[in-house]
Amino acid sequence: MEVSLKKMNEESFAEYLQFAIPAYASENIRAGRWPTTGDLERSKLEYADLFPEGLKTKDNYLFNIVESSNDIEIGHLWVKITSKENSKSAFIYDLHIHESYRGKGYAKAALLCTEHFASSLGADSISLHVFNHNDVAKALYKKVGYEVISHNMRKTIDKC
């Protein structure tokens, strides 16, 4: 499976936000991190904080993932490059393959493209966050060489 990363334009960025904001809220609810009330507003605020200059926000790169043989958009990718001390690293904020294209190797191919892109900008590592309930994504990331570096844990306590 071959894919390419095509930079989003303003129109595709607006479409991306229409999808990403509610999807992020839904994932946080499913993970038990957020209550169902106010979830969309919270997600909108977080995205506004992360994109103070919209698509032109420094060091953030947003792509449509495109199937190379037919130029069909099959998903999207958001990666940020950060510099710390004498090194650069990449963080994948969002990797999404549209449902009808899943299980066909596109996510793996997109991750490899992301490695090449990040490396071309001088990054020597890539990190990401995955919700614990997303077993398919966790298996993919492990398969392509990502390692767990920490776990966040929580316990709900009974009122005394």
In a domain, 58, yes or no: yes
Cα 62 from Cα 105, distance rounded (Å): 20
**Residue 131 half-sphere exposure, CB side, CA atoms within 13 Å?**
16
pTM of the model: 0.89
| CATH of residue 61 | 3.40.630.30
Q: pLDDT digits over 82-129, tens only?
A: 999 899 999 999 999 999 999 999 999 999 999 999 999 999 999 999
In a domain, 8, yes or no: yes
In a domain, 159, yes or no: no
In a domain, 148, yes or no: no
Q: pLDDT digits over 8-58, tens only?
A: 999 999 999 999 999 989 888 888 888 888 888 989 999 999 999 999 999
On whether the CB atoms of residues 40 and 100 are closer than 8 A, the answer is: no
In a domain, 102, yes or no: yes
In a domain, 160, yes or no: no
Task: Of 128, 134, 133, 119, give the one whose Cα is nearest residue 148.
Answer: 128
Range of the domain at 85: 3-143
Residue 44: CB atoms within 10 A of its CB come to: 15
In a domain, 151, yes or no: no
In a domain, 158, yes or no: no
Q: Which helix (H) or strand (E) holds 29?
A: helix 10-30
The number of distinct structural domains making up the chain is 1
